[in-house]
Structure 1
Amino acid sequence: MTTPVSWLYVPGDRPDRFAKAAASGADVVIIDLEDAVDASRKDQARANAVAHLAQVRGGPRWHVRINDLATGRGREDLAAFADVPGLDALRLPKVESAADLDLLDEVCGDRPVPAFALLESARGIAHAHTIAAHPRTAGIALGEQDLVAELSIDEAALDQLRLQVVLAAAAASLGPVPMSVFANVRDEEGLVESCRRGRNLGMFGRTAIHPAQVPAIRRAFRPTEAEVARARAVVDAAAQAEADGVGALVLPDGRFVDAPIVAKARRVLALAEELD
């Protein structure tokens, strides 16, 4: 699948879990060097990630969430991964301005190291559009737990921030914004409901903190049977109208159909087929 649906975190200090993460069905495995790793084990976690990625062949995409670039450890992480062959992208925590991404130019030079910027503060949200537009930015996402802690907001207010980031990514022609982690690994129903809420805001895919969450995330972002049926009706009607030389048309249930609606219906069918 071109656009990832599931992104699974695995602690960098637990190399024994790397293979299990790769076998989980996640589209992207993120080796975490930041929040999931105690300060006393961060150097070993970095070494584990470098050694693993140097020998990766096939399987999911591999990302590494490094430490904050405002710290010496974060800059050391960046230098360590600048030339690692199995790395598909870096995830940069606590990005607050486009200037934070300029450090990649200084350390990586002209090497194409894609970066996913994590916006975890009010300042990061305020600069979402310029961060998204930076040439090094491959994607953006929210660090929702940090935002909730900083701003003391509820779910409705968080939806407003999610929508701002969705718009920033779309304006910069980036891929869709994946959702942040769902902390309760035992609440599958809540996870699915939350994913569908995010999908309605234009988000797509989600990061997971446990392999058991991966199937639920894929299921939540797969179009429902009703959505597939509606999309199929639109596509079939459009094909018939084209054969008959008719432009815009109205379906029997009263829905008006034109080119953008047909394009959306085709995307729904393609997504349903990929996530079957």
Structure 2
Amino acid sequence: MILTWLYAPGDHQDTVAKALHCGADAVIVDLEDAVPASRKEYARAATAELLAERPPVPVYVRVNAPDSPWAGADLAALAGLRGLAGVRLPKVTAPEQVVQAAERTGGVALYALLESALGVERAYEIARAHPALRGLALGEADLCADLGCGTEEGLDWPRSRVVVAARAAGLAPPAQSPFPDIRDLEALAASCARGRTLGFLGRAAIHPRQLPVIERAYLPGPEEVGAAQEVVTAARRNPGAAVLPDGRFVDAAVLAVAERVVALSRRETPVRLPS
């Protein structure tokens, strides 16, 4: 189960090498925003060389936007690489962009990043575009620029929209977009707590110091795990609806939530909530 994703610029191979050993569950090598135009070809070639063999942790690559002059070459260079865990497609606005990427990469796992009002509005269509698509995520910096929102609260609706679209399409819960301030760990923790209540699972980071904060925020605490385990135990003893001594009512939906908490505490793939 991936809770922490760490971005590293594709044209700085020393940074990528460090990222692979700093405790992130997965690394995202970035060929897009973090790499200037003059370094795109070098970043692409260096990343392809890195992924010729399997790295110590799963590595995903964020390619350039579909309408950019580099997207086609990025996808062609990544196709068939042994060490590639998946491709993150930025600025997706239409299902056809996912289909085209899937055809060029030969079925590797794809993740669509929705970074505009149009992308968010089409979230469910995009989520169902192709079997190779494994997840959605928001690109919140670009989305805020598009929407004109300047606060965390302004992102509540698009965040909920992408969570609902992913669930409706049978995809895993999305991970949150990176938090831009690497120094304000308290604000990061609060933002992660908000994201968890909205249905996100894990978060991308832009600095290793953010990783333990994200992990703590998304792993349930001892009291939460204990309460969930009580529900699971009671349900096993009394199949069907039951009432715990403290008055909590247990049915199939309550049990599914409790099983998900227990699975998260063990860093297992969470149990899906009932339809």
Superposition TM-score, scaled by structure 1 size = 0.92
Instruction: Report Cα offsets for 1:48-71 as digits up to 9, x if no partner.
Output: 1001011334x2111000111112
Q: 70, 85, 102: which one pairs with 2:67?
A: 70
Contact in 1 for aligned 2:102/2:110 (Cα 8 Å) = no
What's the counterpart of residue 270 of structure 1?
263
Q: Secondary structure at the match of 1:88?
A: strand
Distance 1:217 1:211 in 2: 10
Gaps of 5+ in 1: none
Q: Secondary structure at the match of 1:64?
A: strand
Matches within 5 A, 1:33-182: 33-57=31-55, 59-108=56-105, 111-135=106-130, 136-153=132-149, 154-182=151-179
What's the counterpart of residue 251 of structure 1?
244
The Cα of 1:263 is off from its aligned counterpart by 2.3
Q: Secondary structure at the match of 1:141?
A: strand
Distance 2:194 2:230 in 1: 25
For residues 105 and 204 of structure 1, do their structure 2 counterparts lie closer, same or farther at Cα, with a shift above 3 Å needed?
Answer: closer
Q: Look up the equivalent residue of 1:261 and give its one-letter code.
A: V
The Cα of 1:274 is off from its aligned counterpart by 2.4
What's the counterpart of residue 8 of structure 2?
10
CA RMSD of aligned residues (A): 1.4
Distance 2:4 2:241 in 1: 37
Contact in 1 for aligned 2:53/2:83 (Cα 8 Å) = yes
Gaps of 5+ in 2: 269-275
Distance 2:252 2:207 in 1: 40
Distance 1:239 1:251 in 2: 13
Structure 1 residue 22 corresponds to structure 2 residue 20: yes
Q: Secondary structure at the match of 2:199?
A: coil
Instruction: Report Cα offsets for 1:82-103 as digits up to 9, x if no partner.
Output: 1222111111110001011222
Q: Secondary structure at the match of 1:207?
A: strand
Number of residue pairs aligned between Structure 1 and Structure 2: 266
Q: 198, 203, 208: which one pairs with 1:206?
A: 203
Q: Look up the equivalent residue of 2:235 and give its one-letter code.
A: A
Moved over 4 A (4+): none
Structure of greater Rg: 1
Q: 165, 189, 209: which one pairs with 1:192?
A: 189
Distance 2:102 2:115 in 1: 22
For residues 105 and 210 of structure 1, do their structure 2 counterparts lie closer, same or farther at Cα, with a shift above 3 Å needed?
Answer: closer
Structure 1 window deviating more from structure 2 (97-106 vs 65-74): it is: 97-106
Q: Secondary structure at the match of 2:220?
A: coil
Contact in 1 for aligned 2:152/2:191 (Cα 8 Å) = no
Q: Look up the equivalent residue of 2:141 and give its one-letter code.
A: Q
Aligned-pair identity (%) = 48
Q: 215, 229, 232: which one pairs with 2:229?
A: 232
Q: Secondary structure at the match of 2:179?
A: coil
Instruction: Report Cα offsets for 1:228-269 as digits up to 9, x if no partner.
Output: 121122122223324xxxx31111221111122122212211
The Cα of 1:107 is off from its aligned counterpart by 2.6
The Cα of 1:106 is off from its aligned counterpart by 4.5
Distance 1:129 1:80 in 2: 29
Q: Secondary structure at the match of 2:238?
A: helix
